[in-house]
Amino acid sequence: MLIYTKKELRDLIIAFIVLTICFSIATAGFNTHRILSLLPIIIIGVVMGSVSHELGHKYIATKYSCDAEFKLWPLGLAIAFVTSFFGFVFASPGTIQIHPENRSDEINGRILIAGPMTNMALALVFIAIAALIYPLRFYSNIINLIYLICVVGYSVNSFLATFNLFPLYSLDGTKVLKWSAKIWFIAIAIAGIMMLGSIFIGAEHMIQILMGL
């Protein structure tokens, strides 16, 4: 069972709220009506992926008897806010601080790959739900909203998984590659295929293919 400190819960809530605002600005500008209509998609399909990524690290870290705590990164939130005015969000709300620090490359790799794996799992859940409810989306506004949330959720989470697996700077891929080149290659290949499918085929068209339409 995951245990959260009061400070950690505070940081998670702040990150969730700020990212919601940032993605709202990036998507709908300052159009209040449009923001309200897109809010469920932004919160569930987008922000949840960013926060769940960090919690994936925390969950696996605790499995290895490590102390893991989410810590807000104010500069990261500031960058997210500034970039939102350009129509995109560079979301890096914080990081999971893990102790002890003298961990093996294998344990480090397993903990770090958990974030992208969480995003990949969420993406698959989203597209599976979207495929299941696809025939019903024309009969109910609520079902159509859930469908749109899932379509966006698939695209965003497949991107987050791929991006974080790049072996650059402090991204997860750096330590995963240091642990196992084979596992890193398999993970980024799967995540990359998912992301490229979203970009070049489109999540909705992918669902139609899955449905045999």
198-208 pLDDT, tens digit per residue, is: 989 988 888 88
First to last CA, the chain: 43
122-136 pLDDT, tens digit per residue, is: 999 999 999 999 989
Predicted local confidence at residue 213, as pLDDT: 61
Predicted local confidence at residue 171, as pLDDT: 85
125-180 pLDDT, tens digit per residue, is: 999 999 999 989 888 999 999 999 999 999 999 999 998 999 987 789 999 999 99
What average pLDDT does the structure give for the chain?
Answer: 90
Residues 63, 55: Cα–Cα separation, whole Å: 13
Q: What's the whole-model pTM score? A: 0.89
Per-residue 3-state assignment (H helix, E strand, C coil) for 73-114: CHHHHHHHHHHHCCCCCCCCCEEEEEECCCCCHHHHHHHHHH
78 vs 31, more confident: 78
